[in-house]
Structure 1
Amino acid sequence: RPVQRLSPNSGLTASDVPAQDSLKSRLRSFPAASFGTWISSSSFVCLDALKDMGFEWFMVDTEHSQVNPETMAAMMANLGGSGAVPFVRVGNLDPYLVKQALDSGARGILVPLVNTEAQARAAVAYAKYPPDGIRGAAAGASSRYGRHLASYLREANAETTVGVQIETKEALDNLEAIAGVSGVDILFVGPQDLTLSLGLLDDRKNAKVRDAMRRVVHACERHGKIAGTLVIDVEEKRAAVELGFRFISLASDVRFLIQGAQDYLNA
């Protein structure tokens, strides 16, 4: 059946499911697409302007941006109490970067360029405390600097969302093995890098790209994962929803700025 949407204009919101549930729980139990957006700039003004517009989550990008650790941590604090879930895309598969993001208050992480089952297992291990992983404990912002450390340690493994990016031909070749990794919640297609890896340069609307994206959705359905991606226009948004993606980034703060300026200049 058509995918329902969690969006300001759909009539369906996060309040339609139990408020105490995490985003991960809602995505698993409620057949709706969840819309967030990418934070690519280090501007607090952009984040502040967007945070109460109805996005369910924000992905602060530390891979392809100038967002440094201090800025990232401040952005996590800025999103506190907004109702939106803070995520961080880490720079690469590195236990220090994953730990830093989660200690700073991120409720989930997205790891780029995950191409193998072993890399997917490592992403989970870096994000989970023992016995499920190797994350070290510290009294950071995530536990309100130790005031809620015991409860955070009890809940973090279950509540932390782990996403891995499928953005190369190698990842597609290993798709079933990656999707089968316990602890991975989201398989997130990086459409631009996947397009490049398939030898199609910037032709991200090519049928081969759509076929690859469909494969990811089907793998997620088989293994109980959530399919995610990023869209850059309304046409891509509609196509992603129709394909079955349920964790969808609507462009980015920088793209909103450029598109808004362009609309005025072209009017």
Structure 2
Amino acid sequence: MRVPETGSYVSRVLDAGAAGVLVPRIETAADAADVVARARYAPDGYRGLGPGRGGWKGGPIPEHLVASNAGVLVAIQIETRRGLDNADAILAVPGIDAVVIGPADLAASLGVAMGSDEHAAASDRIVEAALANDVAPGAFCMSVADAERLTARGARLLIVGGDGLFLAKASAEAWSAAESLKTSAGAVR
């Protein structure tokens, strides 16, 4: 589940039963380490354990902690210039499983157009840092072409399109179809 920011949101969604968490706007290794600590129980982190939380059904606590820590997906987003500048250190933090590039925010932060050579180079740099640190690289892709380019570079976690884009496209197609029903006099048949 994608949370709005780091902090208590991380453990809240996991306590509610999410299998993993995606945290946006990670800019430093300390930010990444905080996410990992909030997502995992002691001794790997400081997520709290309470009755009925995080899938614990009252069985042996040590086994639950080990299984939960091993099974939770911890994914972060790098989508700012500061995050890009710190990508190597961020992705070297133990416990980060995946990184997702936020292309629109990254482009805005860099002051370049999405899809520009500078934007592509920044995305490639994040993918390379992820691969160097055995972290699954990924991105939000606005098109299949974006997904193809990033897959060729090594990305494996791709989110292609989005509900807003799909809704806008379907609405435009429906409007176009309705417009085609007009007669030459402008009335609908």
Fold match by TM threshold 0.5:
yes
The AA in structure 2 aligned to 1:247 is L
RMSD of aligned C-alpha atoms?
A: 1.7
- 2:117 corresponds to which residue? 207
- 1:93 corresponds to which residue? 6
TM-superposed CA distance for 1:186, in Å, is 0.9
- Is 1:178 aligned to 2:112, yes or no? no
Q: What's the CA shift string for 1:207-226, capped at 9, x where partnerless?
A: 11110111111111111111
TM-score by length of 2: 0.86
Q: Secondary structure at the match of 1:134?
A: coil
TM-superposed CA distance for 1:255, in Å, is 2.2
- 1:244 corresponds to which residue? 154
Distance 2:89 2:22 in 1: 18
TM-superposed CA distance for 1:175, in Å, is 1.2
* Mapping for residues 55-204 of structure 1, pairs under 5 Å: 88-94=1-7, 96-140=8-52, 142-143=54-55, 146=57, 150=61, 151-200=63-112, 203-204=113-114
Distance 1:126 1:217 in 2: 25
Give the structure with the larger strand fraction: 1
Q: In the alignment, is the contact (CA less than 8 A) between 2:131 and 2:154 conserved in 1?
A: no
- 1:230 corresponds to which residue? 140
TM-score by length of 1: 0.62
Q: In the alignment, is the contact (CA less than 8 A) between 2:32 and 2:90 conserved in 1?
A: yes
Q: In the alignment, is the contact (CA less than 8 A) between 1:103 and 1:138 conserved in 2?
A: no
Distance 1:184 1:157 in 2: 12
Q: In the alignment, is the contact (CA less than 8 A) between 1:115 and 1:171 conserved in 2?
A: yes
Q: What's the CA shift string for 1:143-187, capped at 9, x where partnerless?
A: 1x6256745433111111111111111111111111111001112
- 1:83 corresponds to which residue? none
Distance 1:220 1:97 in 2: 24
The AA in structure 1 aligned to 2:57 is G
Identical aligned residues as a percent? 34
Structure of higher CA gyration radius: 2
* Count of residues paired in the alignment: 176
- 1:81 corresponds to which residue? none
Unaligned runs of 5+ in 2: 178-189
Q: In the alignment, is the contact (CA less than 8 A) between 2:127 and 2:155 conserved in 1?
A: yes
